[in-house]
Amino acid sequence: MGPIEKTLKRLPISADDEKPLWFMRQAGRVLPRYLKLRESYSFDTLMKEPELAAKVTLLPIEDLKVNGAILFSDILVIPEALGMELKFTDAGPRFSSPLSQAPNSIEHLSFDDSKLQHVYKTLEILTRELPQKVTMIGFCGAPLTVFCYMVQGLGSDHDFPAAVSLFYKEEKLRNILLEKITQASIEYAKHQVAAGARVFQLFDTWAGILPAKDFTEIILPYVQRILASIRETGVPVIYFPRGLGLANSAITFEIADGLGVDWQSDLAEIDSIVPADITLQGNLDPRRVKAGWPFVQPALDQLIEFHIARRAKPGKHIFNLGHGVIPGTKMETLQKIVQRIQEK
């Protein structure tokens, strides 16, 4: 069992154990061997061919020496499995027809788990190949974030006016879509666990687009259902609600084992408003990491001090960024981060 799983399960960590460490979006984007593969294969092919997806998932374990392996996939496989037409282009994923263009089509969406078999096969391969100290991390997108993409599509306007407008104007359709996403996510997550995931992270990139009251009253119950269903399997869960700020106080240990903290938040402040038994994860600013080692080292040293201090609390701390690795980040900077964390 690796240090990430041990930390989330509150198990003793010996002096011989590495510090728990992984990076969101570590399996691609900046690794030279991944970029070389992209010269021969599309993103869609790399993601949906199990042998290739497993190979990409393993790259950061080999090249960065992290001890968490995050499945190489995408949160938009759920909309695709619900029947939406999705293409992964060089400019990123694109829906042929976002739901805002035909809201009534929401009622006709139907989940087809057979479209996700490649994910489970990838996990089965990785379960055989991963070193014992490396934790296999499964994931999916949280209901609100997936809702935003399905309704509005992907583009530059991350205030999601079309999605938020439908959210308030079409309450019945909103609830139908959130329910479909939630049910699909529960089934998807449980199958990932059955295929070998030892930890599960729920990504809520756009948790902060709603007022805190609406988030906690309308969205959080859907989140709780997904996380509770995964925890029933014995697998610990991390919830990453980007942009939630002080509303993170609503995330208790009854909801999640771990809380991913974004780079906009002060980690010490979040520590003061959440229970001591919840594990905190994060929160180096990925933009500083992209700027290079001299600009990230001071912040990293502060994070290491926080990590050491939080060992006194039951939940402890897992090293990560406050969001995903940014394209253009130098692999050498990530390697130096790992080296400094493990040598301290």
Count of C-beta atoms within a 10 Å radius of residue 314: 13
Q: What is the mean pLDDT of the chain?
A: 96
Query: Which residue type sits at 172?
Result: K
CATH number of the domain that 309 lies in? 3.20.20.210
Total domain count, the chain: 1
In this prediction, residue 14 carries a pLDDT of 82
Count of C-beta atoms within a 10 Å radius of residue 310: 18
What CA–CA distance (Å, rounded) separates 221 from 325? 29
Give the pairing type, strands 135-141 and 199-204.
parallel
In this prediction, residue 344 carries a pLDDT of 75
Reported as type and span, the H/E element at residue 68 is strand 68-70
The mean pLDDT of 29-47, rounded to a whole number, is 94
Rounded to whole angstroms, what are the CA distances from 188 to 83, 192, 255, 265? Answer: 15, 6, 19, 30
In this prediction, residue 156 carries a pLDDT of 66
Q: What pLDDT digit, counting tens, does each position of 143-157 carry?
A: 999 999 999 998 767
For 156, the 3-state DSSP assignment is coil
In this prediction, residue 320 carries a pLDDT of 99
In this prediction, residue 179 carries a pLDDT of 99
Q: What pLDDT digit, counting tens, does each position of 48-71 carry?
A: 999 999 999 999 999 999 999 999
* Least confident range of 81-95, 191-205, 228-242, 293-307: 81-95
Cβ-based burial of 100 (10 A; exposed 0-12, middle 13-18, buried ≥19): middle
The mean pLDDT of 180-184, rounded to a whole number, is 99
Which of 5-14, 225-234, 244-253 is most confident? 225-234
Q: What is the DSSP letter of 218?
A: I
For 136, the 3-state DSSP assignment is strand
For 291-298, which contacts have Cβ atoms below 8 Å and span 24 or more sequence positions? 292/330, 292/333, 293/332, 293/333, 293/336, 296/333, 296/337, 297/340
The mean pLDDT of 203-225, rounded to a whole number, is 98
88 vs 138, higher pLDDT: 138
Confidence of residue 167 (pLDDT cuts 50, 70, 90): very high
Query: Which residue type sits at 66?
Result: V
Confidence of residue 94 (pLDDT cuts 50, 70, 90): confident
What CA–CA distance (Å, rounded) separates 20 from 134? 9
Reported as type and span, the H/E element at residue 85 is none
The mean pLDDT of 152-175, rounded to a whole number, is 92
CA angle 256–344–239, rounded 5-degree value: 15
Q: 311: domain range? A: 3-343
